[in-house]
Amino acid sequence: MSIQVNRLSKTFAPQQGVVLEQISFTVPSGETLAVIGPSGCGKTTLLYILAGLQEASSGTITINEQAQGWADGRSAMILQNFGLFPWKTVRANIALGLKLRRTPERVCRQVTATLLAELGLDGLAERYPIQLSGGQQQRVAIARALATRPDILLMDEPFSSLDAMTRERLQNLLLSLWQQRKLTYVLVTHSVEEAVFLGRTILILSDRPTRVKALIRNDEFGLPALRTKNCYFDRIRQVRRAMEV
Protein backbone atom coordinates (compact mmCIF):
# COMPACT_ATOMS: atom_id res chain seq x y z
CA MET A 1 0.00 0.00 0.00
CA SER A 2 1.45 3.32 -0.95
CA ILE A 3 0.83 6.56 0.85
CA GLN A 4 0.75 9.89 -0.95
CA VAL A 5 0.46 13.07 1.05
CA ASN A 6 -0.09 16.23 -0.93
CA ARG A 7 0.15 19.78 0.51
CA LEU A 8 -1.31 18.73 3.83
CA SER A 9 -2.00 21.53 6.32
CA LYS A 10 -3.46 21.53 9.78
CA THR A 11 -4.63 24.41 11.94
CA PHE A 12 -6.35 23.65 15.25
CA ALA A 13 -7.43 27.18 16.09
CA PRO A 14 -6.56 30.30 14.09
CA GLN A 15 -5.10 32.12 17.12
CA GLN A 16 -2.72 29.18 17.73
CA GLY A 17 -1.26 29.51 14.28
CA VAL A 18 -0.62 26.85 11.69
CA VAL A 19 0.69 23.53 12.97
CA LEU A 20 1.42 21.71 9.74
CA GLU A 21 1.96 23.66 6.56
CA GLN A 22 1.96 22.21 3.06
CA ILE A 23 3.51 18.87 3.91
CA SER A 24 4.03 16.55 0.93
CA PHE A 25 5.72 13.16 0.72
CA THR A 26 5.26 9.69 -0.75
CA VAL A 27 5.81 6.26 0.77
CA PRO A 28 5.74 3.52 -1.87
CA SER A 29 4.18 0.19 -0.99
CA GLY A 30 6.37 -1.94 1.27
CA GLU A 31 8.67 0.98 2.03
CA THR A 32 9.24 2.83 5.25
CA LEU A 33 9.36 6.44 6.34
CA ALA A 34 11.00 7.89 9.44
CA VAL A 35 9.75 11.30 10.54
CA ILE A 36 12.01 13.40 12.71
CA GLY A 37 11.56 16.92 14.02
CA PRO A 38 11.64 19.13 17.12
CA SER A 39 9.12 18.37 19.82
CA GLY A 40 5.79 20.14 19.47
CA CYS A 41 6.21 20.51 15.72
CA GLY A 42 3.23 18.33 14.89
CA LYS A 43 4.58 14.80 14.34
CA THR A 44 1.84 13.20 16.42
CA THR A 45 -0.74 15.32 14.66
CA LEU A 46 0.56 14.15 11.30
CA LEU A 47 0.19 10.50 12.32
CA TYR A 48 -3.31 11.09 13.67
CA ILE A 49 -4.31 12.56 10.36
CA LEU A 50 -2.77 9.64 8.47
CA ALA A 51 -4.65 7.26 10.75
CA GLY A 52 -7.88 9.11 10.08
CA LEU A 53 -8.30 10.05 13.74
CA GLN A 54 -8.13 13.76 12.92
CA GLU A 55 -9.01 15.67 9.81
CA ALA A 56 -6.62 17.75 7.81
CA SER A 57 -7.50 21.41 7.31
CA SER A 58 -6.47 21.17 3.69
CA GLY A 59 -4.52 18.94 1.36
CA THR A 60 -5.07 15.32 0.40
CA ILE A 61 -3.96 11.93 1.54
CA THR A 62 -4.13 9.14 -0.98
CA ILE A 63 -3.66 5.59 0.20
CA ASN A 64 -3.28 3.11 -2.62
CA GLU A 65 -4.86 5.54 -5.02
CA GLN A 66 -7.91 6.04 -2.80
CA ALA A 67 -8.76 9.03 -0.70
CA GLN A 68 -8.36 8.27 2.98
CA GLY A 69 -11.49 8.44 5.12
CA TRP A 70 -12.34 7.93 8.78
CA ALA A 71 -10.23 5.22 10.42
CA ASP A 72 -11.10 2.38 8.12
CA GLY A 73 -9.02 -0.42 9.47
CA ARG A 74 -6.35 -0.53 6.79
CA SER A 75 -3.90 1.20 9.08
CA ALA A 76 -2.98 0.51 12.67
CA MET A 77 -1.37 2.91 15.06
CA ILE A 78 0.90 2.57 18.06
CA LEU A 79 0.46 5.56 20.31
CA GLN A 80 3.21 7.52 21.95
CA ASN A 81 2.94 5.82 25.32
CA PHE A 82 1.57 2.56 23.95
CA GLY A 83 -2.09 3.26 24.81
CA LEU A 84 -2.58 -0.23 26.25
CA PHE A 85 -5.76 -0.61 28.29
CA PRO A 86 -4.78 -1.26 31.90
CA TRP A 87 -8.06 -3.09 32.55
CA LYS A 88 -7.51 -5.66 29.85
CA THR A 89 -5.09 -8.54 29.99
CA VAL A 90 -2.34 -8.83 27.44
CA ARG A 91 -4.43 -11.33 25.53
CA ALA A 92 -7.53 -9.12 25.55
CA ASN A 93 -5.49 -6.08 24.52
CA ILE A 94 -4.06 -7.90 21.54
CA ALA A 95 -7.37 -9.41 20.48
CA LEU A 96 -9.34 -6.18 20.81
CA GLY A 97 -8.92 -5.00 17.23
CA LEU A 98 -10.13 -8.38 15.96
CA LYS A 99 -13.03 -8.41 18.40
CA LEU A 100 -14.12 -5.01 17.17
CA ARG A 101 -14.21 -6.45 13.66
CA ARG A 102 -16.40 -9.29 14.92
CA THR A 103 -13.80 -11.93 14.16
CA PRO A 104 -14.83 -15.39 15.37
CA GLU A 105 -13.42 -16.30 18.78
CA ARG A 106 -11.46 -19.24 17.37
CA VAL A 107 -9.60 -17.03 14.90
CA CYS A 108 -8.94 -14.42 17.61
CA ARG A 109 -7.34 -17.06 19.80
CA GLN A 110 -5.23 -18.39 16.96
CA VAL A 111 -3.94 -15.02 15.84
CA THR A 112 -3.23 -13.96 19.41
CA ALA A 113 -1.31 -17.13 20.16
CA THR A 114 0.80 -16.72 17.02
CA LEU A 115 1.60 -13.11 17.82
CA LEU A 116 2.44 -13.86 21.45
CA ALA A 117 4.94 -16.45 20.28
CA GLU A 118 6.31 -14.26 17.48
CA LEU A 119 6.98 -11.34 19.79
CA GLY A 120 8.38 -13.38 22.65
CA LEU A 121 5.44 -12.80 24.95
CA ASP A 122 4.73 -16.44 25.74
CA GLY A 123 3.45 -16.94 29.24
CA LEU A 124 2.44 -13.31 29.68
CA ALA A 125 -1.00 -13.59 28.10
CA GLU A 126 -2.98 -13.42 31.32
CA ARG A 127 -1.03 -10.53 32.86
CA TYR A 128 -2.19 -6.97 32.99
CA PRO A 129 -0.05 -4.26 31.34
CA ILE A 130 1.06 -2.88 34.69
CA GLN A 131 2.72 -6.20 35.42
CA LEU A 132 5.00 -5.92 32.39
CA SER A 133 8.29 -4.17 31.81
CA GLY A 134 8.45 -1.25 29.39
CA GLY A 135 9.90 -3.42 26.62
CA GLN A 136 7.23 -6.05 27.12
CA GLN A 137 4.49 -3.40 27.03
CA GLN A 138 5.90 -2.08 23.78
CA ARG A 139 5.87 -5.56 22.29
CA VAL A 140 2.26 -6.00 23.33
CA ALA A 141 1.44 -2.71 21.60
CA ILE A 142 3.14 -3.95 18.44
CA ALA A 143 1.30 -7.27 18.64
CA ARG A 144 -1.99 -5.46 19.11
CA ALA A 145 -1.33 -3.28 16.07
CA LEU A 146 -0.33 -6.26 13.93
CA ALA A 147 -3.28 -8.44 14.98
CA THR A 148 -5.61 -7.02 12.36
CA ARG A 149 -2.99 -7.49 9.61
CA PRO A 150 -2.91 -3.79 8.71
CA ASP A 151 -1.39 -2.66 5.43
CA ILE A 152 0.08 0.38 7.06
CA LEU A 153 1.61 0.66 10.49
CA LEU A 154 1.89 4.09 12.11
CA MET A 155 4.17 4.41 15.12
CA ASP A 156 4.61 7.42 17.38
CA GLU A 157 8.00 7.39 19.10
CA PRO A 158 7.54 3.72 19.91
CA PHE A 159 10.92 3.06 21.49
CA SER A 160 11.74 6.38 23.09
CA SER A 161 10.87 5.41 26.65
CA LEU A 162 12.97 2.24 26.65
CA ASP A 163 16.52 1.66 27.81
CA ALA A 164 19.21 1.47 25.12
CA MET A 165 19.54 -2.33 25.09
CA THR A 166 15.84 -2.98 24.88
CA ARG A 167 15.45 -0.29 22.27
CA GLU A 168 18.00 -1.89 19.94
CA ARG A 169 16.44 -5.32 20.38
CA LEU A 170 13.02 -3.98 19.50
CA GLN A 171 14.36 -2.02 16.55
CA ASN A 172 15.78 -5.26 15.21
CA LEU A 173 12.46 -6.96 15.88
CA LEU A 174 10.60 -4.30 13.93
CA LEU A 175 13.00 -4.66 11.04
CA SER A 176 12.50 -8.41 10.88
CA LEU A 177 8.73 -7.99 11.09
CA TRP A 178 8.93 -5.54 8.20
CA GLN A 179 10.90 -8.03 6.14
CA GLN A 180 8.58 -10.97 6.90
CA ARG A 181 5.27 -9.19 6.65
CA LYS A 182 6.00 -6.74 3.85
CA LEU A 183 4.71 -3.89 5.96
CA THR A 184 4.51 -0.27 4.97
CA TYR A 185 5.22 1.86 7.98
CA VAL A 186 5.61 5.44 9.13
CA LEU A 187 7.69 5.89 12.24
CA VAL A 188 7.95 9.10 14.24
CA THR A 189 11.10 9.45 16.27
CA HIS A 190 13.32 12.07 17.82
CA SER A 191 16.44 9.97 17.50
CA VAL A 192 18.57 10.40 14.39
CA GLU A 193 20.11 6.94 14.81
CA GLU A 194 16.70 5.36 14.92
CA ALA A 195 15.55 7.27 11.87
CA VAL A 196 18.58 6.08 9.88
CA PHE A 197 18.23 2.51 11.10
CA LEU A 198 14.51 2.20 10.41
CA GLY A 199 13.61 4.57 7.58
CA ARG A 200 14.03 4.06 3.84
CA THR A 201 13.19 7.72 3.55
CA ILE A 202 13.83 10.24 6.31
CA LEU A 203 11.49 13.17 6.55
CA ILE A 204 12.91 16.10 8.51
CA LEU A 205 10.38 18.63 9.76
CA SER A 206 11.15 22.21 10.72
CA ASP A 207 10.01 24.08 13.80
CA ARG A 208 6.54 25.62 13.65
CA PRO A 209 4.98 26.55 11.37
CA THR A 210 6.04 23.08 10.38
CA ARG A 211 7.31 22.50 6.87
CA VAL A 212 9.32 19.79 5.20
CA LYS A 213 12.92 20.72 5.81
CA ALA A 214 14.48 17.86 3.94
CA LEU A 215 13.53 14.48 2.52
CA ILE A 216 16.56 12.18 2.53
CA ARG A 217 16.77 8.85 0.74
CA ASN A 218 18.50 6.26 2.88
CA ASP A 219 19.61 3.59 0.43
CA GLU A 220 21.44 1.49 2.99
CA PHE A 221 18.29 0.90 5.01
CA GLY A 222 17.79 -2.79 5.79
CA LEU A 223 21.38 -3.89 5.15
CA PRO A 224 22.47 -6.60 7.58
CA ALA A 225 24.50 -5.37 10.55
CA LEU A 226 23.95 -1.79 9.41
CA ARG A 227 24.83 -0.34 12.81
CA THR A 228 28.47 -1.36 12.39
CA LYS A 229 28.92 -0.01 8.89
CA ASN A 230 30.58 3.26 8.00
CA CYS A 231 27.83 4.30 5.59
CA TYR A 232 25.44 4.23 8.59
CA PHE A 233 27.51 6.86 10.40
CA ASP A 234 27.89 8.89 7.23
CA ARG A 235 24.13 8.94 6.84
CA ILE A 236 23.68 10.01 10.47
CA ARG A 237 26.06 12.90 9.90
CA GLN A 238 24.19 13.88 6.75
CA VAL A 239 20.85 13.91 8.59
CA ARG A 240 22.27 15.93 11.48
CA ARG A 241 23.67 18.48 9.10
CA ALA A 242 20.32 18.75 7.30
CA MET A 243 18.57 19.32 10.62
CA GLU A 244 20.88 22.11 11.65
CA VAL A 245 20.37 24.19 8.52
Ligand X SMILES: Nc1ncnc2c1ncn2[C@@H]1O[C@H](COP(=O)(O)OP(=O)(O)O)[C@@H](O)[C@H]1O
CA distance 79 to 217: 26
Could you tell me how many residues of this chain bind other proteins (CB under 8 A)?
Answer: 30
Are 187 and 33 spatial neighbours (Cβ–Cβ below 8 Å)?
Answer: yes
Question: Considering beta carbons, is residue 133 or 179 the nearer one to other proteins?
Answer: 133
Is residue 103 a contact point for Mg ion (CB under 5 A)? no
Out of ligand X, Mg ion, other proteins, none, what residue 42 binds, judged by CB under 5 to 8 A for its kind, is ligand X
51 in contact with other proteins (CB under 8 A): yes
Please choose, out of 84-92, 170-178, 194-202, 227-235, the segment that lies near other proteins by the rule CB under 8 A.
Answer: 84-92
Name the residues that contact ligand X, by CB under 6 A. Answer: 12, 16, 19, 39-45
Q: Which is closer to ligand X, CB of 19 or CB of 84? A: 19
CB closer to other proteins out of 126 and 163: 126
CB nearer ligand X, residue 33 or residue 132? 33
Least Å distance, CB 233 to Mg ion, is 27
Nearest distance from residue 53's CB to other proteins, in Å? 6
Give the residue with the Cβ less far from ligand X, 2 or 80.
80
76 is an interface residue for other proteins by CB under 8 A? yes
44 lies in the site for Mg ion, by CB under 5 A: yes
Q: Report what 19 binds from other proteins, ligand X, Mg ion, none; CB cut-off 5-8 Å by kind.
A: ligand X
> CA 30 → CA 103, 146, 186, 197, distances in Å?
26, 15, 11, 16
User: Least separation, in Å, of the C-beta of 43 and Mg ion?
Assistant: 5
